[in-house]
């Protein structure tokens, strides 16, 4: 019977262990934490968005080449994940393309996984700090602070550096380096964004519907500060910029910048930039359901009706009251300007509309690993066989989950990657070794 050691008892590690055991291996799972699946408990705000209904999940993943990710994903697609959990006694339901356990509790997911591990007689060794990974002939040795575990194959599924309180402290990268693997730069992903500006404390806590676009600036001109004319109104040639990604949803303003799921989806591109404040810009459309023309028409009509009332009254029905002074300052106005003045001046009206529909933010980075959900970067997939997730450098060494250079969007993509990669590595590790790759 083949002996398989799984390092890490998270989502990918438990899936790898269960799959290897079902394929006839004797499996031992080793983890430094005091319980299995700690990070699973945090997913989906405790509801565990465990997969999705996307038939092309690789399109929402980054890092590795998409054809490489697709090859891994095809071994266990989202419908297979739902079937897997149903067989474990956990039905799921779909809402807006997201898939959740019917219980609405992440703890249900860890409960059925650990129960299945017990049924399959998988040894679970917790509170074991892994110190080294060695190979002696054909035997792999995993040394901890209290024991040396030996096996015919090892699966490294010990996570990234995201949310280190759950056990993802980045130690897996060091184990991979011991085996000669390259690690691509690891940065936070799915996390809030830090921005330049002195107004954020005044709007902290405000939530609004918005569409946020992230651009790469390819030809820069000096930026104008808050309250100055934008490039459009000033007649300057616009900066040359290329759209990287656009997201819609609820935007959360914070004391340091912006947050919310739509910001999380953009954050990996900011954290992986060497100089985000020079290379990137964010533009927020704060009234995405209205075109610029329609908004201008409505504001002009309302301004005429309000007459001598001040501009905050004009915007009161459109924006949170804390945002109004910021918007007016961006447009070069004050709360003392009258609505009548606005109604008769197309330039003023245009500047106000532009400030609402193209609210520019300068990102200067993201929050730390402590607050991110996953990481961009990790073990270079060019050295890993996408058919088996076996190392192309060391026979009998496999990888699964976040330790690899693959990260996905919010919406179940990262857990889908964990299940699919765990399944792929577990099945291959329990069977005969595969050919090396260059």
- Whether residues 98 and 20 fall in one domain: yes
- Are 150 and 135 in contact, with CB atoms under 8 Å apart? no
- Domain boundary pick from 367, 389, 417: 367
- Are 229 and 351 in contact, with CB atoms under 8 Å apart? yes
Q: Is 437 part of any domain?
A: no
Round to the nearest angstrom and report the end-to-end CA distance of the chain: 30
- Whether residues 163 and 262 fall in one domain: no
Per-residue pLDDT for 366 more than 70? yes
Nearest CA among 287, 281, 286, 264 for reference residue 361: 281
- Whether residues 199 and 301 fall in one domain: yes
321 DSSP 8-state letter: T
Neighbours of 21 (CB within 10 A): 22
As a whole-number percent, the residues of the chain with pLDDT over 90 amount to 88
pLDDT tier at 433, thresholds 50, 70, 90: very low
- Whether residues 85 and 220 fall in one domain: no
Q: Is 343 part of any domain?
A: yes
Average pLDDT over residues 16-36: 97
* Summary mean pLDDT of the chain: 93
- Domain of 240, in residue numbers: 192-367
**171 three-state secondary structure:** helix
Q: Is 8 part of any domain?
A: yes
Average pLDDT over residues 26-39: 95
What's the confidence (pLDDT) of residue 336? 87
pTM metric for this prediction: 0.91
- Whether residues 161 and 261 fall in one domain: no
Number of structural domains the chain divides into: 2
What's the confidence (pLDDT) of residue 167? 84
- Whether residues 72 and 124 fall in one domain: yes
Q: Is 251 part of any domain?
A: yes
- Domain boundary pick from 347, 367, 387: 367
What's the confidence (pLDDT) of residue 341? 87
Q: Is 438 part of any domain?
A: no
Q: Is 436 part of any domain?
A: no
pLDDT tier at 335, thresholds 50, 70, 90: confident
Q: Is 156 part of any domain?
A: yes
User: What's the burial of 168, exposed, middle or buried (CB within 10 Å: 0-12/13-18/19+)?
Assistant: buried
- Domain boundary pick from 350, 367, 384: 367
Structure confidence by residue, pLDDT tens digits, 170-200: 999 999 999 999 999 999 999 999 999 999 9
- Whether residues 29 and 159 fall in one domain: yes
- Whether residues 140 and 225 fall in one domain: no
Per-residue pLDDT for 238 more than 90? no
What's the confidence (pLDDT) of residue 234? 44
Q: Is 244 part of any domain?
A: yes
Neighbours of 87 (CB within 10 A): 10
Instruction: State the pairing for strand pair 51-52/280-285.
Output: unpaired
CATH of the domain at 26: 3.50.50.60
- Whether residues 141 and 234 fall in one domain: no
- Whether residues 67 and 179 fall in one domain: yes
- Are 403 and 62 in contact, with CB atoms under 8 Å apart? no
Per-residue pLDDT for 237 more than 80? no
How far apart are the C-alpha atoms of 252 and 33, rounded to whole Å? 33
| Residue at token pair 């509801």 | 47
Average pLDDT over residues 218-246: 63
- Whether residues 211 and 296 fall in one domain: yes
What's the confidence (pLDDT) of residue 13? 98
Average pLDDT over residues 135-149: 96
- Are 250 and 260 in contact, with CB atoms under 8 Å apart? yes
Per-residue pLDDT for 227 more than 50? no
| Residue at token pair 């419908």 | 79
How far apart are the C-alpha atoms of 359 and 218, rounded to whole Å? 19
How far apart are the C-alpha atoms of 262 and 252, rounded to whole Å? 9
Structure confidence by residue, pLDDT tens digits, 51-96: 999 999 999 999 999 999 999 999 999 999 999 999 999 999 999 9
- Whether residues 304 and 214 fall in one domain: yes
């Amino acid at each position: 019977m083949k002996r398989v050691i799984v390092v890490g008892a998270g989502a990918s590690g438990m899936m790898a262990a269960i799959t290897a055991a079902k394929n006839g291996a004797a499996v031992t799972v080793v983890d430094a934490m005091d319980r299995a699946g700690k990070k699973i408990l945090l997913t989906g705000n405790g509801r565990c968005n465990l997969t999705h209904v996307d038939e092309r999940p690789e399109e929402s993943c980054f890092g590795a080449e998409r054809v490489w990710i697709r090859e891994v994903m095809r071994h266990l697609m989202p419908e297979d994940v739902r079937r897997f959990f149903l067989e474990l006694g956990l039905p799921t339901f779909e809402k807006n393309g997201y898939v959740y356990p019917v219980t609405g509790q992440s703890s249900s997911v860890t409960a059925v996984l650990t129960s299945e591990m017990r049924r399959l007689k998988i040894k679970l060794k917790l509170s074991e700090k892994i110190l080294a990974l060695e190979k002696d002939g054909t035997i792999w040795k995993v040394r901890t602070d209290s024991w040396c575990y030996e096996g015919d194959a090892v699966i490294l599924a010990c996570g990234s550096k995201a949310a280190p309180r759950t056990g993802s402290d980045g130690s897996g990268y060091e184990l991979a380096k011991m085996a000669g693997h390259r690690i691509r730069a690891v940065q936070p992903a799915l996390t809030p964004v830090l921005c330049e500006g002195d107004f954020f404390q005044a709007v902290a806590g405000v939530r609004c519907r918005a569409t946020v676009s992230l651009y790469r600036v390819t030809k820069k001109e000096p930026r104008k500060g808050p309250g100055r004319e934008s490039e459009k109104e000033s007649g300057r040639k616009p900066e040359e910029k290329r759209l990287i990604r656009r997201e819609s949803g609820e935007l959360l303003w914070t004391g340091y910048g912006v947050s919310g799921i739509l910001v999380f989806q953009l954050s990996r591109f900011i954290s992986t930039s060497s100089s985000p404040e020079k290379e990137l810009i964010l533009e927020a459309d704060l009234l995405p359901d209205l075109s610029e023309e329609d908004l201008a028409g409505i504001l002009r009509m309302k301004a005429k009706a309000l007459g001598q009332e001040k501009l905050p009254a004009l915007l009161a029905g459109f924006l949170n009251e804390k945002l109004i002074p910021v918007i007016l300052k961006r447009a070069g106005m004050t709360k003392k300007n009258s609505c009548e003045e606005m109604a008769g001046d197309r330039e003023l009206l245009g500047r106000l509309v532009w400030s609402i529909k193209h609210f520019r933010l300068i990102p200067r980075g993201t929050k730390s690993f402590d607050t991110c959900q996953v990481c961009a970067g990790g073990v270079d997939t060019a050295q890993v066989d996408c058919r088996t997730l076996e190392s192309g450098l060391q026979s009998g060494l496999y990888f699964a989950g976040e330790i690899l250079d693959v990260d996905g969007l919010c919406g179940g993509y990262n857990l889908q990657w964990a299940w699919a990669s765990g399944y792929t590595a577990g099945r291959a590790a329990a069977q005969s070794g595969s050919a090396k790759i260059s």
